[in-house]
């Protein structure tokens, strides 16, 4: 018998309390994640609202969306299907049901980061930026299964969301994911930024985790 996905394990989390704000990722949309506010949460459904600004939001009924957030102990991921929507300008209400949930024990802080022995270039696209300034390239300095440290000579601000594309050494599959800039410093005329993954395909994430284990084992031997 297949377990029915439920939000019950997350209901005590402040991120699912009424009035809490979440970043909602919409697959295949080349935009920044949509900011939504929790209106009501139960084990079997979630109701959120979002303020409509500028262009009207495309119809989402039948789409799969993702909520992903980090705590001190874990990375929580919830995939949901949009089953109903209602617009009361300037607000849209969305009713969602969970279709998959995941909790991954995270490695919090910089002690979990490992350095690379091979140079890895990371092209990126800044979500929501003007076309002339939306693309850039960075170097991957350190990483963990949940975090990346990159350096770039491009302009990136704390809080920006970047769509990343890169290939790890000796791997053929290109890693594609979205990450949020959570820290930013300057070293030798370069911007050094720390990011956390906000959306990444499970297959791609497994490649990152496997490579991380490989480098961690080599570093401790």
H or E element at residue 205: helix 202-220
Domains 8-105 and 110-220 alike in fold: yes
Rounded Cα gap, residues 167 and 173, in angstroms:
7
Q: Is the pTM of this model over 0.85?
A: no
Nearest C-alpha neighbor of 45 from the set 4, 74, 102, 104: 4
Does a cis peptide bond (omega within 30 degrees of 0) precede residue 90? yes
Give me the percent of the chain exceeding a pLDDT of 90.
Answer: 30
Domain spans, the chain: 8-105, 110-220
Rounded Cα gap, residues 95 and 173, in angstroms:
35
What's the half-sphere exposure (Cβ side, CA atoms, 13 Å) at 72? 0
Q: Which CATH number, 1.10.3720.10, 2.40.10.220, 3.40.50.980, 1.10.420.10, labels domain 110-220?
A: 2.40.10.220
Using the 8-state DSSP alphabet, how is residue 5 labeled? Answer: P
pLDDT tens for each residue of 53-74? 766 677 889 989 988 887 666 7
Q: Is the pLDDT of residue 209 over 80?
A: yes
pLDDT tens for each residue of 118-135? 899 999 988 765 555 578
CATH number for the region 8-105 comes to 2.40.10.220
């Amino acid at each position: 018998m297949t377990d029915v996905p439920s939000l019950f394990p997350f209901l005590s989390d402040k991120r699912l309390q009424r009035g809490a704000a979440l970043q909602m990722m919409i697959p295949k949309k080349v935009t920044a994640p949509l900011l939504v506010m929790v209106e009501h949460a139960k084990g079997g459904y979630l109701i959120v609202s979002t303020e409509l600004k500028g262009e009207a939001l495309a119809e989402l009924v039948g789409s799969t969306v993702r909520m992903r957030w980090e705590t001190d102990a874990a990375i929580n991921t919830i995939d949901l299907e949009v089953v109903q929507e209602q617009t009361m300008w300037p607000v849209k209400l969305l009713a969602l049901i969970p279709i998959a949930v995941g909790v991954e024990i995270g490695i919090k802080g910089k002690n979990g980061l490992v350095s690379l022995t091979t140079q890895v270039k990371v092209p990126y696209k800044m979500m929501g930026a003007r076309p002339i300034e939306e693309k850039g390239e960075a170097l991957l300095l350190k990483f963990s299964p949940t975090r990346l440290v990159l350096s770039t000579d491009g302009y990136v601000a704390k809080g920006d969301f970047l769509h990343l594309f890169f290939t790890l050494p000796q791997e053929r599959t290109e890693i594609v994911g979205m990450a949020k800039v959570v820290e930013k410093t300057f070293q030798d005329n370069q911007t050094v930024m720390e990011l956390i993954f906000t959306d990444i395909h499970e297959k791609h994430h497994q490649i990152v985790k496997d490579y991380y284990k490989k480098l961690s084992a080599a570093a401790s031997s």
